[in-house]
Amino acid sequence: SFYQGLVFLTENNVSDLGYDLTFSTEIEEFGVTEVRDLKPGGRNLSVNEDNKKDYVKLVCQMKMTGAIRQQLNAFMEGFYDIIPKRLISIFNEQELELLISGLPTIDIDDLKANTEYHKYQATSLQVQWFWRALRSFDQKDRAQFLQFVTGTSKVPLQGFAYLEGMNGYQKFQIHRDDRSTDRLPVAHTCFNQLDLPAYETYDKLKRMLLLAINECSEGFGLA
């Protein structure tokens, strides 16, 4: 409902809301609800057509981090007490996960058996090239690929049939991208989805896939 409200706000005029909206939001913490400003004096600053994009950005930041800042700070204080910040800050989040968990053993046959195709078929040439390329990867590149398409390098304990998405179990999906073969593959990590252009050759598919998983692995949702 929070998401749908923001979509309505971005697609419609603020005056259509039927109520006054300010740069503040209600936050519930430990059973207590309070109004917090999204910027200094925010509760006295009205949202209008000119500043509503700024409002959406700030209210999302508040919901995802600001509202739990106290808890995040407590967690980080304890974490850095065990592992000093100067030792851990050289790693990004993907490298840190691999450092803690190690390289996973990825069963390509299990992943292939639990893959869904959209505008492709299992017999499509690009799909066959994709699995050939994935089998040629070493363990590090396979782990990078899994991080790229799912957001984590962890393999489900019960196999890829139990791969989770944002709405529960969600198998790995390969969607055909018809826009251009000059585009890199695109990942939608919330849905374990890979948008794969219909590349003309195996070598190009493998090169573009490696480029995507090694250079475009940062970010949330889309890579």
Catalytic residue among 56, 190, 198, 210: 190
Helix (H) or strand (E) holding 168: strand 168-169
CA distance 43 to 64: 20
* Residue 64, CA distances (Å) to 25, 56, 140 in order: 13, 12, 31
How many CA within 13 A on the CB side of residue 120? 24
Query: Would you call 216 a catalytic residue per the annotation?
Result: no
Taking the chain, what is the end-to-end CA distance rounded to the nearest angstrom?
Answer: 26
Strand partners, 27: 34
User: What would the two tokens of residue 168 be?
Assistant: 């529960």
Neighbouring C-beta atoms of residue 61, cutoff 10 Å: 12
List active site positions: 190
